[in-house]
Each structure stands twice: as structure tokens, then as C-alpha cells.
Amino acid sequence: MAESPQDRAAWLREELQRHERLYYGEAKPEISDRDFDRLMAELAAIEEEHPELRTADSPTRRVGGEPTEGFEQVEHEPPMLSLDNTYDHGELEEWVERLARLLPDTDFDFICELKVDGVSLSLLYENGVLTQAATRGNGRVGDLVTANARTIRTLPLRLPAAAPARLLVRAETYMRRSAFAALNEQRAAAGLELYANPRNTTAGTVRQLDSRDVARRRLDVACYEWVQPAGDDGDERPSHGESLAALADLGLPVNDSWRRCKGLGEVVAYCDEWQEKRGDLDFEIDGVVVKVDDPELRERLGATAKAPRWAVAFKFEAEQAETVVRAISAQVGRTGAVTPVAELEPVLVAGTTVKRATLHNYEDLARKDVRVGDAVVIEKGGDIIPKVVSVFEERRGPESKPFAPPTECPVCGEKLYQPEEEALLRCVNAACPAVVREAIRHFASRNAMDIEGMGDWLVGELVGGGLVRDPADLYDLTVDQLADLKKTNDARLGEKAAARTVDSLAESKKERSLSRLIYALGIRFVGDSTAALLARRFRTVDGLAEASAEELEEVDEIGARIAESVRAFFDSERNQDLLRRLKEAGLEFEEEAAADEGVDRPLEGKVFVLTGTLEGMTRNEAGARIKALGGKVTGSVSGKTDFLVAGEKAGSKLRKAEQLGVEVLDQAGLEELLGGAGSCRAGP
């Protein structure tokens, strides 16, 4: 049976959100930027053809990367949008032509900058002092990491007297290759596992809770955007190039390789030049960012919900290298999927040593005809995921043989099977140690039950030592059991670390929402957003377990494939036993009543934009009151805006609202609207 658009869209949303979480939240990407963009384009096409399938939390409407728990959250104003990507000269030319269609008879000057491969930060200086640093998060809300940012030696803590009273800067924090190499040398000497690459290490470092650890890792930073008021003060705003020069004059670190380019030809020349020279740098870049220089033209071009129209990223071709396949092994995942992996002669690619490369599935392996002993070309897709690109068949010896896919699980020995309409082989043994290990890792992960200390090493020790067979066994662990486990350098885990893990397990019983528990169970096709939908609809695990496939399909965004998967999970006797034991362990199986249950949302569907200064409240506080009554707050005025709230010193947004005929509210009008709406309550 052909997959319905509804099922495909639901799967794409979950898959894209998973990859966003892996990239932005966990710094463990699994696919290249280009493959991610292809999935995003497919979802956008489905939503364009079937608008009824477009959801409020669709990845096509937002920037990915949820804030990490454990940090105070900061709301970005304006939001930190992502960039659209181009991958060749033709796509870059199409972008320039699109600008010309939007603003005919306009000459564009562009600023080209190196796209540093790191982690985005928003930096706020007030009266010359660095008062706030926040990660991008999901683009609207990020993690407050001021203490960590203050450890970056190249970032000034205080600016000269000439600095404006309030200065908001966007920047990229990163780790130089030399600093990364020194860090790995230290870890090797201590017998610790080496870090994979500078970008992932930066992502983990900036989220460290102890800023002393951050200081030891020698991060760097490059400022790339001065976020200036949209002409609210009446003064002419500087161009982007002028603002970069001004930031450098204030002592802020700005990469000095930027260049003003006139026309497509100069832009292409800059991109090609740095694609050739990127290996000469002491830091990693994965492309070039091209921006319109004129601030007035930027404002007229505006932005989509996800990205500014006035900027684009030109992504470099993946770096390639030649090496030899030593062996082809099999990897078993959480759902029992068995995938082939090429074990390689170590080779340096894009700044990191590569020893393994994905072969995706056995059909892909057969199509490429990769064999043990082959000389192959590998590349890092998006400079992240190593994969085999091609094989030098002419170099094969007479003894070379095609690789035969396994018929038994390489871990537990059970017979493998291939489901219809799937390219993957699967192990159906739920007790397979590899399946159990991945299920435990998923259950304990940050977006699931968030159990401290439950990393790869500890999970491997617990499963390998027979202490844990499924997630319910975790709640029987004691401090003594964990403390006696030995790490790779032969040191014990220790009582303090063991106690933290046991305390985190106890906390997870009552402090995790039902939706996170449903997600943690690892039901196939049920990601965190689908888990939230199921939790809101059924309110308890028992209610979900009793729901028929028909009742499940009545939930928005749940199609037949997801419904069948949920039903199959709860019909399994093994899973029923797991749920019984989790309940006996004391996990919370019911969703708490929503705080706003029984309250009308009279501003539902109304779109607000806030500008200027409000008396007695900040714009964030006003926005929170609007959202509590069902309204939506955005950062830019458009034809879809219902109300512009204009405080003192309102600027260009007020002018645009008046041009578009958007209703304008002063503070008294806003208070009246909120007061009247807030008094509307549901009856008894």
C-alpha cells in the first residue's frame, strides 16, 4: 500500500526534528547538511500541495535546536534565524536573480564572509560591559551561557567608552584546530576517549555547567553581525561592511577575511578562492555567507519564517580522501536495524581522522559493490558524516569477492529478516544486547528521561555486565553497584558520580512529563512532538495503551503507520511487562492537568508585533501575556499581522504597519485588550 501524504509528512517532521536535535542539542549529527535539506524540501513540497498537513511546529516554520535543560533560558529579540543554503554556482545565481525579482532595477553590493563551523551566540553589551551571552537554541529561545562566554580570552568583557549604551552582536564560537589537537593530546595522555572534531567539541564545551572546564578548552569567537535598531533613532544606519569595521574598532573579534563584492562574478570568485584555501586556516569553515550590504535593502527584502531573504550560505563541497577498506562490520540499532559499516585505514579528512564510514544499508553496499581490500574515496557529507563515495574497481586483485550480507545478528546470533518495502535487515530479538543497549541510551537521553551520567560507557557496562536488561532495571540500581564499575583507565566510577546517577534516576520518576516518558519508550515512528500529541489526547499511559488504531488516527498528525506502530508496541507482552515494572518503580504515568485548562483563549489566531518602549513592563512580559491568551507574537510586520503594539520611540515597524493598514495599539489599547480578553473565562 502506497504511503499517504499524511504519513509521509508525519515521518518527515519527526525525522527532521530528530536531526535538528542531534545537530543543535546533542552535537551528534547523523546526516549531511545536503541530505537534511533534501528532507526539508520534500516536507515543504508536501505541505505546499496539502496545506491542511502543515502544523504549527513543522520544521519548515522554525529554526531547529531546542534549548538544553539545565540553563536559564533567554528570549532572542529579534529571533536568530538560520540561513538558506546553496551548493553550486547555479543555485547561487538563482538566489541573486530572486533578489532582482523582489527589488527590480536595484544594484546590489554584497559582503562575503567565511562561514566558521562552530556554535552561534548572541552577545549583549550594556554600557560597554558584556552582560549576556546566549546560544541560538531554537532561534527564539536559547541557553544563557554568559559565564562560559566570559572565559573566551579573545572576547572583551568591557568595550571602549565610544561603544553605544546597548550593543547586540551575533557571533560564532569555535575551537581552533591547534587547540583541539592539544586537547586530544591531553586526553590521550590521560587514557580518555578522544573527541571527534572541533565543532562537536565546541558545542559540548559551551554547554558545560562548570565555566572552569570551558576556560581550559580555549574557545575562540568571531563576530559577524551588529544587530541594530531598524532606524528607530532617525539616523542613517551603517552598511553591513561598515558595521563589521566598527565592531573591530571597538575591539571585538571580527574575521578580517570578509570582502565587499559587486555582482555575482566577484561573489563566485570569493567562494572558489576560499574553497581552495580553507585547509590553510587554523579553524574549520564549511562555506561562505553572502549578505546584502545595504541595511535599507535588507529591510525591504525581509525574511521568511526561517531565514532572511537578504543572506544565503554557499556550502563547500565535502572534502574527500582515498583510503582502503580493512573490513565491513555490522551495526545494530535500537529498533534492531542492522547496517553495514566500512572499517577503514585511518585517513585525515576535513581536520579529523576517519576510521569508519557508513554504507547506509546492504542494498547501497551492493549497488556500490564495496569489498574488503578495496581502495575507495570517502568524503564527509557536509564535513560531518564520513561515507564511501566510489570504488577503484580496476585496482582489485583476483581474490576479491563481493560482500555477502549477514544472515544472523552479529551480536546475538538470531536470524535476521527484511521487512517488506524496507531496505534494512532487522534483528527481531528484543533481548539482543545491542538492541537493549541502544534502547537504554534512548530512554536515558536528554529529551527523554534525562538521566545524568548514563552515557555510552556506563550503558555498555550495565548491559554487558547483566545488570540491566531493559529500562525498568535502571530503577533497581544502587550506588554501590555503580561505584564499583571500572572505567577504561582502570579507575572506579566512584561514589559521588554513582550517587548523582541514582539521584537523577529517582528524580526522573516524578519530574518528567508523560510526553517524555512516551518518547522514552522508543515506540517506532513516535518522536518527541508526536509523543506530546499522544500525551495531550490520552492523558495517561494506560489510556494510550487501551486506544484502538481508529482512536489513534483521530489525533491530528497521526496516520495509519504511526497508529499501527503504537498498537503493536502496546500489544507486545514483553512491553506490557516493562510498563508494569516501570509503574511499580514509581514512574509517573499520568499527565498533570494543564494550568490553563478551562480558560478561554480569546486571542487565538491573532498575530501581534511589539515595538518601542512600554511603561511598567518589558516587551517580553507583554508578549507572555498575549501568548497566555492564545495570541502569537512575531518579530516583523507583514500582511498577516493583526495588531502592532507601539510603545515610546516606535520606529520603522510603525511606519510599515501604517502602510499595510495594520491596526496599531498604544499601551493603553493593549492593556484594554488584555484586560477584556483576560476576563473571559469558561463557565463553571
Local structure of 358: helix, strand or coil: strand
For 145, the grid coordinates are 551561557
Under 8 Å between Cβ of 175 and 218: yes
Under 8 Å between Cβ of 249 and 100: no
Tell me whether strands 320-332 and 337-349 are parallel, antiparallel or unpaired.
Answer: antiparallel
For 122, the grid coordinates are 548572541
Question: What would the 3-class secondary structure string for 442-482 be?
Answer: HHHCCCCCCCCCCCHHHHHHHHHCCCCCCHHHHHHCCHHHH
For 395, the grid coordinates are 585496482
Apex 660 CA angle, 675 and 63, nearest 5? 75
Helix axes 667-678, 619-628, angle to 10 degrees: 30
Buried/exposed 9-40: b ≥16 CB within 10 Å, e otherwise: bbbbbbbbbebbbbbbbbbebebbbeebbebb
Helix (H) or strand (E) holding 388: strand 385-391
Which residues 6+ apart lie within 8 Å of 674 measured at CB? 625, 626, 629
What is the Cα–Cα distance from 316 to 507, expressed in whole angstroms?
A: 45
What is the sign of the dihedral through the CA atoms of 536, 539, 543 and 544?
Answer: positive
The active-site residue, picked from 28, 115, 496, 653, is 115
DSSP state of 361: S
Local structure of 231: helix, strand or coil: coil
Which residues 6+ apart lie within 8 Å of 213 measured at CB? 205
Burial of residue 280 (number of CB atoms within 10 Å: 0-12, 13-18, 19+): exposed
Buried/exposed 412-424: b ≥16 CB within 10 Å, e otherwise: eebebeeeeeeeb
Which residues 6+ apart lie within 8 Å of 132 measured at CB? 74, 122, 123, 124, 144, 146
Place of cell 545488570: 467
Which residues 6+ apart lie within 8 Å of 428 measured at CB? 336, 414, 417
Apex 234 CA angle, 233 and 239, nearest 5? 95
What is the Cα–Cα distance from 486 to 191, expressed in whole angstroms?
A: 13
Per the annotation, the verdict on 115 as an active-site residue is yes
What is the sign of the dihedral through the CA atoms of 147, 151, 155 and 156?
Answer: positive
What is the Cα–Cα distance from 243 to 228, expressed in whole angstroms?
A: 9
Catalytic residues: 115
